[in-house]
Chain A
Amino acid sequence: MSLNLLYSAREGIIGLKRARMATAITISTVTISLILLGIFMVLTLNVHRIVSNFRDQMALEVFIDNSLSSEEIRLLEDQITQEEGVAEVLFISKEEALERFREEFGDDPLELLGENPLPPSFQIKIQQAWQTPEGIEDVAKNIERIRGIDEVVYHQNLFRMLDRYSRIIIIVDIVLFSIVLLSAILLVSNTLRLTIYSQRKTIQIMELVGANQSFIRRPYLIQGILQAGVGGCIASLVVWGIWRGIEFRFPHLIEISPLLLLASVFLSLLLGFWGSLLGLKRFLNTT
């Protein structure tokens, strides 16, 4: 049985060598489709990453009454932590606020005014479920009610915009990705059919001498897997190369895991198998 499979593989490879032109065209087509698909896959994965990173950054700034003692501030922090929708509370003391001001503006208010005018504050990160314009407003209002809170600052408009556009971006991305995926599948199965078509005489002879259907299919499925596999490997390398180029100029803009490349190669093998199966349908008609 396994020896038989070996013969089928040999037959498949002989066929590829014979149909050299069709094979070259098929592998090129597979490669190009998979490069496009790969680029979109990386973009899609990273659009989600960038958008969700951005959402995570959505923070409330909560200014505290300047006269509170550090004990009272700790109690306040506990109280805020327990509020619904709050993910993380970070305390920024008067001194830290001053330091940040210096870094950001280069001026030193201490020198200008003789004292530190900046109040202590909390930076609050919102839980994912609350990262909507409405959710953030609710959280802000609830915190504002707590005694000892001076003011809650957040940019609702910015949130609203981010919310709207990120959704559009993700939808457009998913639509484009689906189109590219579908065209890749169609293109690959069509070109695989080209290779099979160029070997139709061999198929005809197999049917003539009484080979069964699964046996006839085998060399061509192996061919499909081989061609798509080669295309998939080249495409993965190219996508990886493009990513390295981007990474060189804009570090950490986009992430690629080796697992993704591996998954792509595996996917291309599946595509080859499936594409050949589709391609064979038109040539196998015993009855």
Chain B
Amino acid sequence: MIQLTEVWYWAGENQILSDINIHVKGGELLCIVGPSGAGKSTLLRLIHMEIFPTQGSVIVADYNAQMMTEKQIPFLRRKVGVVFQDFKLLEDRDVFENVAFALWATGVRRKKIKKRVFQVLAEVGLSHKRYTLIPELSGGEQQKVAIARALANEPFVLLADEPTGNLDAESTEEILELLKRINGRGMAILMTTHKEDLVKTLPARMLQIREGKIVG
């Protein structure tokens, strides 16, 4: 489903990733663990096709990075949900509007939007806060909104780049539980973290990354 083959990535003179081979299967939960600066975010950006490999092949479902046109990128993004440690939410809108935004921005019909937003908010357990403004939520709740937004367009994989990086222990636990639940329903998840002990309890396959290389 996601296939990286002999991927190298250079940013100017700097070699960021070298010889990466990763295969993510449908429904899988894969954790990429490595210290800060190892290249985890770069890896996810390659899959999300914000950047393209200097060498090697990145294939996400039917999309091949080598053959991507500018017009195709938005369609890939709709099928690859992403969440970040800084949530990237619209601070001056409420929970409902933030999730609806993703559907509205991708041309989904109004009636369908409402139904789908209620669905995903129920899924992440935030139905009761749907009209709360983002700044009034805890960090954990904000990340749940981001997850709901990422799921809104029914992606086949969820990329989570240090999803608990900004959260306290309790919220971290909740988010990991939620991700586990979502994965349990068949959604593939590719998650990164620099804290190995965090994901040890997860039913996940783990890959170690150091200085741009997969080391085990």
Contact = CB atoms under 8 A, between A and B. Distances in A.
10 contacts: A201-B88, A205-B101, A208-B82, A209-B101, A209-B102, A210-B76, A212-B71, A213-B74, A215-B105, A287-B52
A3 interface: yes
A202 interface: yes
Chain B, interface size: which category?
20 to 34
Contacts of A212: 71, 74
Contact of A206 (B73, B82, B105, B152): B105
Contact of B106 (A3, A204, A209, A287): A209
Given A215-B105, A287-B70, A210 B110 contact: no
A201 B73 contact: no
CB-based closest 6 A-B pairs? A210-B77, A211-B105, A210-B78, A209-B102, A212-B74, A210-B74
B12 interface: no
Interface string B174-203: 000000000000000000000000000000
B149 interface: yes
A165 interface: no
Interface string A199-225: 001101111111111011000000000
B107 interface: yes
Interface string B84-108: 0000111010000000011011110
B96 to A, nearest CB: 15
B101 A286 contact: no
B142 interface: no
A4 B77 contact: no
Interface of B: 50, 52, 70-71, 73-79, 82, 88-90, 92, 101-102, 104-107, 110, 149, 152-153
Interface of A: 3-4, 7, 18, 201-202, 204-213, 215-216, 286-287
Given A201-B88, A207-B74, A208-B88, 16 more contacts: A4-B107, A205-B101, A209-B101, A209-B102, A209-B106, A209-B149, A209-B153, A210-B75, A210-B78, A210-B102, A211-B106, A212-B74, A213-B74, A286-B70, A287-B52, A287-B70
Contacts of A213: 70, 74
Nearest to A211: B105
Given A210-B153, A287-B52, A215 B70 contact: no
Contact of B105 (A3, A18, A209): A209
Nearest to A204: B88
A28 to B, nearest CB: 24
A209 to B, nearest CB: 4
Contacts of B74: 207, 210-213, 286
A242 to B, nearest CB: 40
B101 A287 contact: no
Contacts of A201: 88, 90
Contacts of B92: 18
B38 to A, nearest CB: 23
Contacts of B76: 210
B70 A210 contact: no
B113 to A, nearest CB: 10
Contact of B77 (A18, A202, A209, A287): A209
Nearest to A4: B107
B135 to A, nearest CB: 14
Given A18-B92, A209-B149, A210-B153, A3 B110 contact: yes
Nearest to B103: A209
A7 B75 CA distance: 21
